[in-house]
């Protein structure tokens, strides 16, 4: 449902800017997957330049996970007038599948970056040396798989959106990026679960999914937007959690039980579209939504670890084996 938009609107920025200290942008976005084009950002920037006290923080950690040829943009580059008060953040966790390595980075005005570094060095652990070297190896290494993986995610997104949209009472927009789906569950509000519990909120709905079928999602209220719920695409197929077909079937069953709605037949999966060259298949049946934590090709991860370990004085071979 392309018409469902989660974009921050120029009119909202205009309305609140005078009372605002910082605008936080996250594109592509967690939880909605919405992404801002250069044109969208230019429109927001046009308002923000008129409010010189507003600092802009932009989190672009999902920049390599975009679909349908979407071109990401960064607000300080789109409108350099904002550069002196924009902090641009990124990190290794999503694009490079390095969740858990805890490496992020930011660029911005010197005094703000200095203040962040001062605060962080006192309050938070410093990023590990090995993590930093691994990040450098990943950033300097081959980048071709980023596009291949985004294409695989796109196929999985299309499959998941089609299936969710076919469930009566749910409506799923088609995210431009990231690996989340954020469907509306407005159609089940007011219905009852088989054991008589009324579903009044998205929280009730996600609880019913969890209770009935062990499908774990996050209610939209946690992100300030009800009645929606977030499905994290990275978790659906790792083997740690439900693979999408059983997961989806469970979701449909739980939803049907909760809403008493008739279900439609689902289209068959074209499995050939769900893996990509050079990558180990993540779940045998069906592979579907991949984990960014596992989506760095094993070979590249080993190279990164080897480089990192070498730089840190650990024997690379030993470290690579441990991975």
* Least gap, CB of 137 to ligand PLP (angstroms): 17
Interaction residues for ligand PLP, span 103-132 (CB under 6 A): 104
For residue 226, the minimal CB distance to ligand PLP (Å) is 20
- Closest CA relative to residue 59, chosen from 83, 84, 23, 32: 23
- 229-232 and 180-181 beta bridge pairing: antiparallel
Please, what is the minimum distance in Å from the beta carbon of residue 124 to ligand PLP? 11
Which residue, 11 or 124, has its beta carbon nearer to ligand PLP?
124
Please tell me whether residue 97 binds ligand PLP under the rule CB under 6 A: no
21 contacts 55 by C-beta, under 8 angstroms = yes
Least Cβ distance, residue 103 to ligand PLP (angstroms): 7
Closest among 40, 274, 301 to 158, alpha carbons compared:
274
Nearer to ligand PLP (CB atom), residue 127 or residue 168:
127
Least Å from the CB of residue 97 to ligand PLP: 11
* 182 beta partners: none
Of the candidates 13, 34, 40, 59, which one interacts with ligand PLP according to CB under 6 A?
59
Q: Going residue by residue from 9 to 48, which x/- string records binding to ligand PLP, judged by CB under 6 A?
A: -----------------x---x------------------
Among residues 94, 251, 268, 116, which one has the least CA distance to residue 185? 251
Q: How far apart are CA 105 and CA 60, in angstroms?
A: 10
Is the distance from CB of 217 to CB of 242 less than 8 angstroms? Answer: no
User: Nearest 5°: CA angle at 167, between 2 and 35?
Assistant: 25
Instruction: Between 169 and 175, name the residue whose CB sits nearer to ligand PLP.
Output: 175
200: Cβ contacts below 8 Å, ≥ 6 apart? 189, 190
Number of alpha carbons in the 13 Å side-chain half-sphere of residue 61: 21
Q: How far is the CB of 251 from ligand PLP (least distance, A)?
A: 22
Site for ligand PLP in 61-80 (CB under 6 A): 61
Is residue 90 part of the contact set for ligand PLP (CB under 6 A)?
Answer: no
Binding site for ligand PLP (CB under 6 A): 26, 30, 59, 61, 91, 93, 99, 102, 104
């Amino acid at each position: 449902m392309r018409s469902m938009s989660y974009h921050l609107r120029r009119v909202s920025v205009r309305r609140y800017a005078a009372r605002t200290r910082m605008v936080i942008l996250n594109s592509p976005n967690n939880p909605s997957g919405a992404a801002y084009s250069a044109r969208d950002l230019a429109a927001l920037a046009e308002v923000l330049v008129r409010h010189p006290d507003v600092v802009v923080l932009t989190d672009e950690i999902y920049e390599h996970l975009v679909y349908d040829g979407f071109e990401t943009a960064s607000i300080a580059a789109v409108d350099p007038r904002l550069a002196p008060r924009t902090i641009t953040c990124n990190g290794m966790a999503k694009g490079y599948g390095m969740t858990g390595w805890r490496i992020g980075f930011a660029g911005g005005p010197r005094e703000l970056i200095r203040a962040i570094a001062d605060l962080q060095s006192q309050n938070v652990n410093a990023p590990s040396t090995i993590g930093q070297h691994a990040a450098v190896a990943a950033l300097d290494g081959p980048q071709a798989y980023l596009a291949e993986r985004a294409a695989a995610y796109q196929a999985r997104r299309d499959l998941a959106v089609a299936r969710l949209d076919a469930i009566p009472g749910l409506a799923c927009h088609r995210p431009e990026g990231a690996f989340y789906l954020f469907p509306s569950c407005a159609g089940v509000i007011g219905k009852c679960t088989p054991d008589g519990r009324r579903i009044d909120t998205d929280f009730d709905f996600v609880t019913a999914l969890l209770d009935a079928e062990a499908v774990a999602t996050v209610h939209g209220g946690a992100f300030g937007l009800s009645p929606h719920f977030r499905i994290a695409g990275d978790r659906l197929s790792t083997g740690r959690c439900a693979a999408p077909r059983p997961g989806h079937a469970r979701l449909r069953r739980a939803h049907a039980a909760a809403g008493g709605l008739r279900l439609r037949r689902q289209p068959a999966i074209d499995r050939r579209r769900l893996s990509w060259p050079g990558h180990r298949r993540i779940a045998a049946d069906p592979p579907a939504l991949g984990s960014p934590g596992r989506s760095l090709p094993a070979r590249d991860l080993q190279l990164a670890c080897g480089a990192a370990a070498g730089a840190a004085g650990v024997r690379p071979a030993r470290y690579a084996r441990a991975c």
